[in-house]
Amino acid sequence: MDYIPGDDLRHVIFEARQKHTFLPEREVLGWAEQIASALTYLHSQEPPIVHRDVKPSNLKLMPHGLIKLVDFGLVKILAPEEVTITIIQGQGTALYTPLEQYGGSDMHTDIRSDIYAFGATLYHLFTNEPPADARARFLSPESLTPIRSINSAISPRVEKAVFWAMSLHPDERPHTIDEFHKALLGYQNSPTLPIPIRRTRPQSAWDYLAHPTETALAWGATVMLLVSLLATLAR
């Protein structure tokens, strides 16, 4: 096999996190263009080839800036009549794997599975944090933190496109890599999808007003404090 010099993007993310910085949006979008080109080439073959394990550690950044997609151990060839041929058995890496891929080789996966993994990879690159896996999101949609809540420098357009690619149901994702790529660059509008908001613990007494349960507890504590104060004054 060819030797590919350079670090994988997982290492690049690690270095950025160690420095308490984020990778620039423009730079990540430049890498995304190369990744999109590689996946488009695979998906345009007859029959189409699905990588099924797109993730930062399978993307090598060469010294001159070229991105290489590696590790084709989980590749599937989509044969005619939607019969899927597994080249090597496997399911992929959980953090970047869509729900439909959890069924193993007996479950149907297609190019939209790569689109999900591509979106999840970009999420990690933009935030320095891996996304919540699809199973956790299915049970708790708010477990996926919005990108701009972590990195406000990312444009709303890009955040919207990434969340479109990471839709849990394949039918709700872009139909092609090109469609997703155009949405990232603003050449095509992404559909308006609800972006989950992770609930955080209230930071002040006023924040309790937004949460009925905490509001009741806050009022109860206030009443008990007043009763205690009045009892002290009455002595």
**Exposure string (b/e) for 134-163, b if CB count within 10 Å is 16 or more?**
beebeeeeeebbbbbeebeebeeebbbbbb
Nearest Cα residue to 185 out of 9, 13, 22, 25:
25
Which residues participate in catalysis according to the annotation?
A: 53
- How far apart CA 106 and CA 16 sit, in angstroms, is 39
Q: List all residues 6 or more positions away from 93 whose beta carbon is below 8 Å from its beta carbon.
A: 53, 55
- How far apart CA 233 and CA 15 sit, in angstroms, is 60
- How far apart CA 154 and CA 146 sit, in angstroms, is 11
